[in-house]
Amino acid sequence: MAAILRPRQNWVFDLDNTLYPAECDLFSQIDRRMTGFVAERLSIEREAARVLQKQYYLNHGTTLKGMMIDHDMPPEEFLAHVHDIDYSGLPRDMRLKAAIGALPGRKLVFTNGSRRHAENVIQQMGLEDAFDGMFGIEDALYEPKPAQVAFDRFVGAFDLVPSQSVFFEDLTRNLEPAHHMGFSTVLVRSAKDWSHEPEGARPASADDHVPAHVHHVTDLLSEFLEQVMSE
């Protein structure tokens, strides 16, 4: 089934919990640092900060966007703080590198994280030469997925034709606008709920209903990409 995607010319990958397995617990470091930042910035207890953090994520796509709107917070300080983490737990994934390299056309990263964070992840995983470009939250002018404007800016930056493109994501809500634009969509699931997010913003698990805007599902990205190129 995955092989039907082979003629596509653009392969777009979310970063966190998509390129690397959620079991690495990398995002849990970011999650904790976001809570700490909100608590310190607003002079509130961590428990209250975490509730606010998750509400911003649900309502605005990122905690960052909520803090910018409600508290006029400069985004650079937030991003520098929350991405000051230990990347050493990420695996070097040569199987994934080979699978991405075998794909025809352009390979791109589209993340709600910063470009610096994406660079750190990609370097730690040994994927430095795997991609032709990356688009961070700075490039979207801090408008996060699933906002349509974020997708429009991404598509414009790389002059993509959505109907010739595939989008890989771990969050079903971020696949919906991609589907409506004409992308083929692939949900990358995990057995681990890394997020502790409010209902409506959680990553999908194997037990969840797969919505119609998700065209393909995989629990192992490298294997799925190998199937795309298989006979």
Answer whether the bond into residue 144 is a cis peptide, omega within 30°: no
State residue 13's pLDDT score.
98
Query: By C-alpha distance, which of 190, 119, 181 is closest to 151?
Result: 181
Task: Provide block-wise average pLDDT over 10 residues at a time, the chain (231 residues).
Answer: 92 96 90 96 96 94 95 95 96 97 97 97 97 98 97 98 97 96 96 57 60 96 96 63
State residue 209's pLDDT score.
76
HSE-up (13 A, CA, CB side) for residue 219: 8
> How many of the other CB atoms lie within 10 Å of CB of 154?
19
